Amino acid sequence: MNKPYLFHLKSAAALETTNEGVRAGFAALALERNRRATPYVEQARALKHAASQAKHPVELLEIPGIQSALVPVSGVNFVEELVFRFLLTRGDTLGGSMRNIGGFMAQKKLTRSIIAHLRLAGKTCKWLHSESNAWSDLPEDDADIELHLRGLCWESRGKSRTVVYNLTVPFFRNNVDLCLFDCRAEDLDREKYKEPGLYIALGELKGGIDPAGADEHWKTARTALDRIHKAFAKHKLKPHTFFIGAAIEPKMASEIWSLLKRGVLENAANLTDEDQIASITRWLCGL
């Protein structure tokens, strides 16, 4: 079958996000918000305990270990307001990190699916740490590793395959959510990113679950995919392209289905459908 999307899609309707998918997506979003908020809540508790030792505001300056928390809340009235303002400023920080939470959750889910597929196939792989930017062997106990992962590398039919998330492709200077390369992780560097022939597949991931924002997410993804096609066409190349989205409304599903049938896109899947994600992962790992 030369149309891989037909393994998991039979019509445009199969791409549409169900009501159950929306509910599950919002639940996952709430859990992620709680996970990210927990450190700030614990810091606030620690701050309240330490600050309660002071009888007057000026005495706060003499308490070791809380100076960094006092700077953003200077000028407030004592302990309760101190803690309230601390949480307020940390809430702004959390809000900023939450704006791209959909993309993060999409990446996390796809990563877990890729790792599961590779484990099932008995393949060893390496992973790229998002902060240290260093490659290392994927450990046997890989629980929660997707929280800090930016790339994966494995062998497919005797050839090396490397995935990198959130890469600004040099020759058209736009960010792409996922790029699959025909090379080893050790050989992949800034110069390799400039070689169009090394790109096997490029994809857009949109994890936002709110139906109200679905059209806007698709518009952004469609623009990015168009840029990808035009950039590689200049080099007479046509790498595989795909789209994975959480919130897919009927009109959007019809447009994606049309692109698949015309061969503009090679594959697509709804992030809330486990079978579709498993299928597109199997395709991606087999390229």
Q: Give the model's pLDDT for residue 208.
A: 87
pLDDT at residue 36 greater than cutoff 80:
no
Domain final position from 78, 98, 118: 98
Q: Give the model's pLDDT for residue 2.
A: 79
Same domain, 233 and 268: yes
Same domain, 69 and 132: no
End-to-end C-alpha distance for the chain, whole angstroms: 14
Laid out side by side, the sheet with 267-270 consists of 135-137, 125-129, 149-156, 159-169, 174-181, 199-206, 240-245, 267-270
> Most confidently modeled of 132-146, 153-167, 191-205?
191-205
What is the rounded average pLDDT for all residues in the chain? 85
Tokens at residue 75, please? Answer: 């000028």
Residues 42-66: pLDDT tens digits?
Answer: 766 776 666 666 666 555 555 665 5
Any domain includes 51:
yes
Q: Give the model's pLDDT for residue 274.
A: 95
Beta bridge partners of 153: 126, 162
pLDDT at residue 39 greater than cutoff 80:
no
Q: Which region among 137-151, 244-258, 267-281 has the lowest average model confidence (pLDDT)?
A: 137-151
Same domain, 163 and 215: yes
pLDDT at residue 96 greater than cutoff 70:
no
Mean pLDDT of 131-136: 92
Any domain includes 48:
yes
Same domain, 129 and 197: yes
Q: Give the model's pLDDT for residue 32.
A: 75
Q: Which amino acid is at 287?
A: L
Same domain, 89 and 216: no
Same domain, 72 and 163: no
3-state DSSP helix/strand/coil % of the chain, to nearest 5: 55, 20, 30
Q: What's the total number of domains in the chain?
A: 2
Q: Which amino acid is at 27?
A: A
What is the torsion angle, in degrees rounded to the nearest 10, for the CA atoms of residue 277, residue 281, residue 284 and residue 287?
-130
CATH number at residue 89: 1.10.238.90
Q: Give the model's pLDDT for residue 267.
A: 98
Cβ atoms within 10 Å of 87's Cβ, excluding its own? 18
Same domain, 140 and 53: no
Any domain includes 176:
yes
Contact call for residues 135 and 162 (beta carbons, < 8 A): no
Same domain, 108 and 91: no
Mean pLDDT of 275-284: 96
Same domain, 162 and 256: yes
pLDDT band at 163 (very low <50, low <70, confident <90, very high): very high
pLDDT at residue 279 greater than cutoff 70:
yes
Any domain includes 127:
yes
Same domain, 79 and 108: no
What is the torsion angle, in degrees rounded to the nearest 10, for the CA atoms of residue 152, residue 157, residue 159 and residue 162?
-20
What's the rounded Cα separation, in Å, for the pair 226 and 174?
Answer: 11
Same domain, 224 and 179: yes
Q: Which region among 14-23, 46-55, 199-208 has the lowest average model confidence (pLDDT)?
A: 46-55
Angle at 270 between CA 264 and CA 262, to 5 degrees: 15
More confident residue, 139 or 28: 139
> Most confidently modeled of 39-43, 90-94, 188-192, 201-205?
201-205
Claim: this prediction has a pTM higher than 0.75: yes
Mean pLDDT of 198-216: 92
Share of the chain above pLDDT 70, in %: 78
CATH number at residue 198: 3.40.91.10
Any domain includes 143:
yes
Instruction: Give the residue numbers spanning the domain of 56.
Output: 34-98
Tell me 246's DSSP state: S
Same domain, 94 and 107: no
Any domain includes 6:
no
Residue ranges with strand state E in the chain = 125-129, 135-137, 149-156, 159-169, 174-181, 199-206, 240-245, 267-270
Any domain includes 19:
no
Q: Give the model's pLDDT for residue 87.
A: 59
Any domain includes 282:
yes
What is the torsion angle, in degrees rounded to the nearest 10, for the CA atoms of residue 26, residue 32, residue 35 and residue 38?
-60
Total residues found in the chain within this entry: 287
